[in-house]
Amino acid sequence: MIARHLFSLAAGLAVILTVPAAADTCRTEIAALFSGPLDPFQRPPHRQIVQIYDADGTATRLYRNTIESPLKTIAGEPAANFFTMAIDRDLWNGPSETGPWTKNPAQMPDGREATLRRQYAEQRDNLTDTVCHGQTEDGLLHYTYRTQTTPDATGSFFGSLDQIWIDPDTGQIVKFELAEFINPWTEGVSPERHVIAVEFDPTIKVDAPD
């Protein structure tokens, strides 16, 4: 009987000791993705279709984004006939993804690239609740993780519970699902869920209008 209890205790301790090791391995695997498919500065030109769902799972809004790079984007809501082109610090607004464009006198903050790179590094460093699901039935690699940026001097930050699906043939993300959003300006956790389908297109160019 004593031997049986000792064996059970040893087995239990083995499980306790191996779970953190597995979790650490998964966290390391996901952190490495921030130097690959999770690094938007390395992501090829692509389009995103962003479907927003409320807490009941009802689709509420649809956005379309065209991204040559994080500093050259077109993003907007087709139903509202409102899109914004952002190139470095400059902004233009228009009723469609192709314009016509009107210059917006406002500008993005200076040092935008450095800020984006800092935020991505913080998200990598602040990973928690990491799960490496392995390959799905359709052959995609599936990961889940929670992360957030580090509060800046003003106390600003943002975070969410993220899922990504990667095509192992291309090494690129083909789908994001973001939920449980947090920030310092709203109380609690947002009930919204964002599902983002990604389509790569090497011909995409986001150029300033004439």
Residue 205 lies in a domain: no
Our count of domains for the chain comes to: 1
- Tokens representing 11 are 């087995």
Residue 208 lies in a domain: no
pLDDT at residue 51, rounded to an integer = 98
Cis peptide before 168 (omega within 30 of 0): no
Residue 180 lies in a domain: yes
Residue 210 lies in a domain: no
- Note if the pTM is more than 0.95: no
Residue 207 lies in a domain: no
Looking at residue 63, which CATH number applies to its domain?
A: 2.50.20
Domain span at residue 44?
A: 2-200
Residue 195 lies in a domain: yes
Q: Along the 210 residues of the chain, how does pLDDT read in single tens digits?
A: 444 433 343 444 344 344 444 668 999 999 999 999 999 999 999 999 999 999 999 999 999 999 999 999 999 999 999 999 999 999 999 999 999 999 999 999 999 999 999 999 999 999 999 999 999 999 999 999 999 999 998 999 999 999 999 999 999 999 999 999 999 999 899 999 999 999 999 999 999 998
Q: Vertex 114, ends 131 and 158: CA angle to 5°? A: 45
Residue 206 lies in a domain: no
What b-and-e string marks burial along 45-61, b requiring 16 or more CB atoms within 10 Å of the CB?
Answer: bbbbebebbeeeeeeee
